[in-house]
Structure 1
Amino acid sequence: MPVREALRQLVSDEAMFDHPNRGVIVPEATVARISDLVRVRCSVEGTAAEWAATTITPEELDELAKLNSLMRECVESNVMANYLGLNRRFHFTMYHAARSPLIQQIIEKLWLQAGPFLNIVRSDVTYGLGLDHHDEMLAALRRADGAAARKALVA
């Protein structure tokens, strides 16, 4: 029963699709679906980054810097087992700093929907590509510059 309930929740969150003859499947990765998901994520997650710039604590900034360093170590050592988990922690630490449980719930659902598509494009070549934008986000958050934090996240 727990597996069925988990699948029902993933269907409810639109991370999976209940296909009448094939069971629960990952939605098709169409250009239209991915484009829409990217557009919405940029808007919602950009807003969270902008809000976080005015409410983030020094402790949260330190945590972001630590997570970013750990991600960089993964890339430099070419040991990627923890990279995606660290990336998620980095982003959700920032989203938590926005102090909006509602926007966090929305972002969580968006990440569930994006996950299967991100796994398609992840490879040894793509790991670490966003770390320079993480550096830009950190700098913007330290300056309390919401517009720059949004811009770095969207990039």
Structure 2
Amino acid sequence: MGRQIGGGHEDEVTAALLCHRLEDDIVGGRILPGARLEELALARRFGVSRTPIREALQLLAATELVEKRPNRGVYVTLPAPERLTSMFEAMAELEATCGRLAAERMTPAERGQLDHTHRVLGVAMRAGEAGDYEAGNRRFHDQIYAGARSDVLVELTAAVRRRVAPFRRVQFNHLARLGASHHEHQAVVDAILRGDGRAAEAALHSHIMAAHEVAQDFLASLTLAARRQG
């Protein structure tokens, strides 16, 4: 049995944590496409009740990593390459717009905070601390979203971000990608600090599509592994 997760509030926080763990198992190739995810088995594995497992599977379905089949259960699947491209294109367009607006609307204090986050990310990158870099990366993008001052745009961006999140995370498994990501962030920060909305827009679009290339390579490797096993 795996390490137990959860406690008194397992129906909320634990479901999200379980979803994250299952996402990583799927994109990490530990659970291959075609596998059935059984609530009882997962509840035993994680040491929780079936309620948060059921909620985690519902969250997971939104990422298109699983498919609910009527009267048959929940099965692991993967998006087609074209579908993954479509999701990343939407993500790139939305984040690019957030970047343009942030460059135009951020206060001097917010620009300074973004620059500070970028510098902290540099420390994590040089140390090869992928976990710290991933956490700082989320904070970096969240600061740009907040700086855009557009609630509706941020809601839409967050929804698409949720769909591509498992595939965005795989890039942090490669130290070389950490360096490339930080270099791309530098272009974003430079543009926002000087208030150049169009440059920030272009830099963020390029940044997201670079992550897309890594995600496509990883999707191809998972698909090949599943075919070999099948």
Which TM class, normalised by the smaller chain length? 0.7 to 0.9
- SS of 1:72's partner is helix
For residues 101 and 15 of structure 1, the distance between their equivalents in structure 2, rounded to whole angstroms, comes to 25
Which of 120, 132, 145 is 2:196 aligned to? 145
Partner of 1:93: 143
1:40 and 2:61 are equivalent in the alignment? no
Shift of 1:133: 2.0
1:29-108 to 2 correspondences below 5 Å: 29-108=79-158
Instruction: Tell me: CA distance 1:39–1:75, structure 2 relative to 1, closer, same or farther (3 Å).
Output: same
Verify the 8 A CA contact 1:46 1:154 in the aligned structure 2. Answer: yes
1:18 and 2:61 are equivalent in the alignment? no
Shift of 1:6: 4.1
Partner of 1:136: 187
Shift of 1:118: 2.5
Verify the 8 A CA contact 2:117 2:140 in the aligned structure 1. Answer: yes
Verify the 8 A CA contact 1:7 1:24 in the aligned structure 2. Answer: no
Partner of 1:125: 176
TM-score for the superposition, normalised by structure 2? 0.60
Shift of 1:126: 1.6
- SS of 1:19's partner is strand
For residues 93 and 40 of structure 1, the distance between their equivalents in structure 2, rounded to whole angstroms, comes to 19
Q: What per-residue deviation string (whole Å, max 9, x for no partner) do you get for residues 97-130 of structure 1?
A: 1011111111112121112222344322322312
For residues 63 and 100 of structure 2, the distance between their equivalents in structure 1, rounded to whole angstroms, comes to 26
Q: What per-residue deviation string (whole Å, max 9, x for no partner) do you get for residues 32-84 of structure 1?
A: 01210121111111111111111101121111111111111111112222111
Please tell me the root mean square deviation across aligned C-alpha atoms, in Å: 2.0
For residues 89 and 15 of structure 1, the distance between their equivalents in structure 2, rounded to whole angstroms, comes to 25
What amino acid is the match of 2:145? Y
* % identity of equivalent residues: 24
Structure 1 residues without counterparts, runs of 5 or longer? none
TM-score for the superposition, normalised by structure 1? 0.86
Higher normalized contact order (CA 8 Å, seq sep 6+, divided by chain length):
1
Give 1 or 2: higher helix fraction. 2
Shift of 1:144: 1.5
